[in-house]
Amino acid sequence: MPRSVNHVASRARRKKILGFTRGYFGARKNVWTVAKNTWEKGLTYAYRDRKNKKRNFRALWIQRINAAARLEGMSYSKLMGALHKAGIEINRKVLADLAVNHPEAFKAVVAKVKAA
């Protein structure tokens, strides 16, 4: 009995991954094994960097808050400690946005913290 191979499914599977690698350089776009390895490695980079993105944004927010807090005569750590002690629940993302886009609102938050 002849060997039955489902060429339709295997070709579609390969074509799908070669479609994902469209625009890559050299053999990475059209040689099956190279393209598959490149695509899989790209998925691992994407997974890793979704985590790193959160880390990078948190670091950016902290730098912005620190710069704005120092203009008000406080360090970042003193400000965050005072916010916690005053019971003001505001996250770093919002605080950094206030520091950059609404400096008067940030000054009001710092004044409230200093008073408490």
- Rounded mean pLDDT of 32-58? 98
More confident residue, 55 or 3: 55
Residue whose entry in the numeric block shows the structure tokens 């985590």: 51
The string of pLDDT tens digits covering residues 65-99 is 999 999 999 999 999 999 999 999 999 999 999 99
Q: Which two tokens stand for residue 74?
A: 């406080």
* Residue 5 burial class via C-beta count within 10 angstroms: exposed 0-12, middle 13-18, buried 19 and up: exposed
DSSP letters for 61-95: HHHHHHHHHHHTT--HHHHHHHHHHHT----HHHH
In this prediction, residue 2 carries a pLDDT of 83
Confidence of residue 42 (pLDDT cuts 50, 70, 90): very high
